Chain A
C-alpha cells in the first residue's frame, strides 16, 4: 500500500482523523467545509440573476465590508492589536484609486488610468504608509495602540479635508474612480451567456472575485509561519519574543498587510457609494469594521464575511421592520419616539455589547455551537 492508500484506509468513516499534519492544516480540511464553501460561492455567484439593482448595491457593500473586515482581522484578530485607524487607511486607498483612475475636474485631479494600475496601488500606498507608521504603533500595545490609531485617524481626516486636489474638500467630495480593466468597463450593464446583468451586478461579481482571492490569501497567511507568529504575539507577546518571534517585525507586517486590505476595500467602497466626502472616513466607519470583526468572529476568515452580512443587512432589516412599528418614524425630523436611523444605531451598539458579553466568538462561535450540537446529537456532548 502506498502512503496515500494507507491514509484513505485509515480515514474511511472517520472524517476527523488526520494522519498527517499537512492534512489537518489544509485550507479545506473537512469535506463539509469544501461542500459548504462551494455551495455558498455558487449562491453568491448567482445573486445578480435574482436580485434587483438596489439589493445588488447592498450585496456589493457586503462584499466590500468583508474585504475590509478580513484586513482588520489580520491586525486585530490574528495579531491582537486593536486599530481604530482602519477608516484612515481605507480613505487613503480610496483617494489613491480616485486620483489614478478617476476623472479630472476643475477641482480634483484624476488620470483615468487602468484598473490594473490603480487597484494594486490602492492597496500598496496605504500599505507603505502603514509600514512607515508601524514602528510607532509597534512600540505600544493594547489600548495605547487603540488611542494612537485614533489620533492617526483624526490627523488623516484633517489631511483629507485640506488636500482638495485629492478629496474635493470638506463637505464637497469627489466622484469615485472609473472601473476599466484593459479597456473593458466593468461598471456597465451587460449580457453574459444570455443573462442580463446590471452595472452594479457586474461590479459585484468583480468585487466577489477580489474577495475570494484576498480571502484565500489571508487564510493561507493565517496558517503559515507568519500567521502562527501573529497568534503568538497576540496571546503572550513577551513569551513570543523569548521564543524567537521578532516582535516589532511581526507587528509591522500585520499592520502593513491590514492596511493593504483596507486600501483595496476603501477603493471599492467609493465605487459602490458613488460620491464621497472626506468626512466619510471617520471614527464611525472604523467602529463599523471593528463590529464586523467582533460580531463575525475574531481570528477567522469566514467570520468577517458573516459579520459583514450582519452589519450591512441589519439596518436594511430594521428599515423593513420599522414600517410595521407605530412608534418608529421612517422620516427624519418627525415627532415619533425614534426614527429609523436612531433605531439602527442603537441596535448596532447593542449588538456589539451583546455579542461581547454573551458570545465573544461572534457568529462563528454560534455556528460552532450549532454544529457541535448536531454532531453530538442525540447526546448533549
Chain B
C-alpha cells in the first residue's frame, strides 16, 4: 500500500496534465480535422512565459499563469492565421505537416528563450507534502489534478452551453452550413487554436512545477497526449480525460513496479508505456473508447 497509493496519485497527477494537452488536440481536431503537432512547443512556451512573468515582471503566481495563458492564446491564434488558414480546403495531410514545421520553429524559439538551464516556474507548491495515515501526498500532485480537471471542465462547459461553444460545434459539424448560418468560421478556427494553445500553456506550467522544471527537451512529453487521444477517441473531451488518467496511472505503476518484477525490459520502460497502449488501442478499438466511428462514403 505504501507504494501503490502514492503511485496511483502520482499517476493521476501526470495523467491529468496529459488529459489537458489531449483536450487541446481534440479542440483543434474537432474544428479543423487536423492534429496539431506544434502542441509540444506551445506547452514549453507556456512554462517559459509563466516563469518569465513570475521572475522578470514580478507578478503573483496565479496572475502570471493567467497572463502566460493569454500570451499563448495569442501565439496560437497568430499561428493559425498565418500558417494554417491558407490551407483550408486542402488535404489534412498538408495542414498536419505545416504544424510539424511550426513545431520545429517554435521549439528553436523556446530553446533559445530558455537557454541551457533548467527552468522553474516559481510555483507555490514546491516539494510541500502532507500525510494521510501512512501515505505521503505531494501538494503539487493535487494541484495538477485540481487545476487540470477544472480547466477542462470550464472549456467543456464553454463548448457545451455557451453561444460561442454552439458556434464552434456547428463549425466542426459542417463548415459550409455553419458559414451559411452566419457563423464566422475563420474566427472559430482562431478561437479553437487560442483555446488549445492556452490549455497547452497551462499544462506546460504544471509539468514545470514541483521537482520537475522545464528544459527544451521536455517538449516530447506532450507527444504522450497522442496515445491519450487515440485511446479516448479523437473527437471526445470526455475520452481525453478518462484515457489521460488511465495512461498516467499505467505509466506511474510501471515506473513503481517494473524494475522489481520485469527488469528484463530494461530501464525507463514507463516512457514507452503510453505508446504500447496506443498500439493495443488501435488493434482492439481503432476509434477509441468514446470516439465517433468514422463513416465514409465514396
Chain A residues close to B by CB (< 8 Å)? 80, 82, 136, 139-140, 142-144, 146-148, 150-152, 154-155, 158, 161-162, 236, 238-239, 242, 283, 287, 290, 294, 333, 338, 342, 345-346, 348-353, 356-357, 360
Contacts and interface: CB of A to CB of B under 8 A. Distances in A.
Contacts of B104: 287, 345-346, 348-349, 352
Contacts of A349: 101-105, 108
Given A342-B112, A352-B97, A357-B86, A144 B286 contact: yes
A44 B104 CA distance: 32
Query: At the interface, is chain A mostly helix, strand, loop or mixed?
Result: helix
A238 B298 contact: yes
B272 A155 contact: yes
**Range of interface residues on chain B?**
35 or more
> In terms of DSSP, what is the predominant structure of the interface of chain B?
helix
Contact of B275 (A151, A348, A352): A151
Given A144-B282, A349-B105, A356 B230 contact: no
A150 B226 CA distance: 9
Contacts of B266: 158, 161-162
Nearest to A338: B112
A43 to B, nearest CB: 31
Contacts, number: 119
Contacts of A348: 104
Contacts of A357: 83, 86-87, 98
Contacts of A236: 298
A356 B87 contact: yes
A16 B115 CA distance: 58
Interface stretch (B88-96, B121-129, B173-181): B88-96
A85 to B, nearest CB: 11
Given A155-B276, A290-B97, A139 B268 contact: no
Given A162-B266, A357-B86, A342 B108 contact: yes
Contacts of B92: 142-143
Contact of A154 (B112, B275, B296): B275
Nearest to A154: B275
A356 B83 CA distance: 9
Nearest to B94: A356
Contacts of B223: 150, 154, 283
B269 interface: yes
B222 to A, nearest CB: 12
Interface in B219-234: 220, 223, 226-227, 230, 234
Contacts of B94: 356, 360
B65 interface: no
